[in-house]
């Protein structure tokens, strides 16, 4: 695969991942839709888009791929993500999500006796310090409940990613997991039906997040990922919180606080050291 095509696909995937934060925050901040309805529409439209893409490529419908435990992790991620963005900015949410995902995967390695060298240990301490600095009480600290929900979403996505490692057909597995997660998301929406609120803008944002940023975004990422080294694939995802922060400023009018800047440097820089140390 030519370098420019790999770079283009990777860039599109990172933009799609960041767009999920922007679309969710945009929909929820102004009350266009409630969090449970956003989750249901996102998961169901993502499942439908993935099913259509699999049919077009002639690879079945994904029904025989995926698993219920992975689908549960996917649902917890999607629900936590939506409810967290009721109170978090796009930049803070993306940073907490990404940090929790990487912390989960690094923790899994440590649990299975993966040893860290000095560079990786330094990076882990730096990232942890940045996360603590971000959520310490203060005028510019993000809301605690939203932070906990986004951290839960990140842990769930980390578990989902770990369960999917080494799969022979990640796109089909993702389609199967989305299809299994759809009834869970619909049940959540039904449970909170008395608090439901939607308008056309909110529905459009949720469908764009599910069908485009999630469904098509994941397929694009799976096309690029086999051509990237493991360390490169992890490193390039460092760009997602940065893209989300810039998008929050440009499209949502969000402010970038000094606390967020310093914490971002510590968290993303620390994770980069862990990834770099692993490659060496």
30 DSSP 8-state letter? T
SS3 call for 33: strand
Give me the domain span that covers residue 145: 3-279
pLDDT at position 65: 82
Number of structural domains (the chain) is 1
Cα angle 110, 218, 42; round to 5 = 105
How far is the CA of 38 from the CAs of 26, 75, 82, 199, 271, in angstroms?
Answer: 11, 12, 7, 11, 31
Q: Could you tell me the end-to-end alpha-carbon distance of the chain, in angstroms, rounded to an integer?
A: 25
CB-count exposure of residue 111 (10 Å: 0-12, 13-18, 19+): exposed
SS3 call for 49: helix
Query: How many other CB atoms are there within 10 angstroms of residue 240's CB atom?
Result: 24
Beta bridge partners of 198: 33
Residues written for the chain: 280
CB 73 within 8 A of CB 173: no
Give the 3-state DSSP-derived string for 192-223, with helices as H, strands as E and coil as C: CHHHCCECHHHHHHHHHHHHHHHHHHHHHHHH
CB 22 within 8 A of CB 182: no
Residue 241: name the closest of 256, 253, 222, 231 by CA. 256
The C-alpha atoms of residue 173 and residue 170 are separated, in whole angstroms, by: 5
64 DSSP 8-state letter? T
The C-alpha atoms of residue 90 and residue 205 are separated, in whole angstroms, by: 14
140 DSSP 8-state letter? T
Tokens of 106: 């690094």
CB 138 within 8 A of CB 129: no
Q: Which residues of the chain have pLDDT under 70?
A: 1, 3, 59-64, 137-140, 166-167, 229-234, 277-280
| Dihedral sign from CA coordinates of 250, 254, 259, 263 | negative
Tokens of 271: 């994770």
pLDDT at position 81: 97
């Amino acid at each position: 695969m030519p370098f420019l095509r790999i770079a283009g696909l990777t860039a599109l995937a990172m933009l799609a991942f960041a767009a999920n934060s922007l679309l969710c925050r945009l929909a929820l901040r102004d009350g266009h839709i409630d969090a449970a309805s956003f989750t249901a529409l996102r998961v169901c439209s993502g499942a439908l888009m993935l099913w259509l893409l699999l049919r077009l490529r002639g690879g079945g419908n994904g029904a025989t791929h995926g698993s219920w435990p992975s689908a549960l992790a996917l649902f917890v991620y999607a629900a936590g993500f939506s409810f967290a963005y009721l109170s978090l900015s796009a930049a803070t949410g993306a940073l907490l999500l990404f940090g929790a995902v990487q912390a989960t995967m690094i923790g899994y390695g440590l649990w299975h006796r993966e040893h860290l060298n000095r560079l990786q240990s330094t990076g882990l301490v730096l990232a942890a310090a940045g996360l603590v600095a971000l959520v310490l009480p203060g005028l510019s600290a993000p809301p605690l409940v939203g932070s906990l929900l986004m951290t839960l979403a990140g842990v769930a996505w980390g578990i989902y990613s770990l369960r999917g490692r080494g799969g022979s057909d990640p796109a089909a597995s993702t389609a199967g997991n989305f299809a299994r997660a759809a009834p869970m998301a619909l049940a959540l929406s039904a449970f909170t039906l008395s608090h439901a609120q939607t308008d056309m803008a909110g529905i459009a944002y949720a469908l764009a997040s599910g069908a485009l940023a999630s469904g098509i975004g994941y397929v694009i990422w799976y096309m690029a990922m086999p051509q990237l080294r493991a360390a490169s694939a992890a490193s390039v995802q460092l760009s997602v919180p940065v893209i989300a922060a810039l998008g929050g400023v440009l499209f949502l009018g969000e402010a970038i606080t000094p606390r967020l800047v310093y914490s971002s440097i510590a968290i993303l820089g620390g994770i980069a050291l862990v990834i770099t140390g692993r490659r060496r």
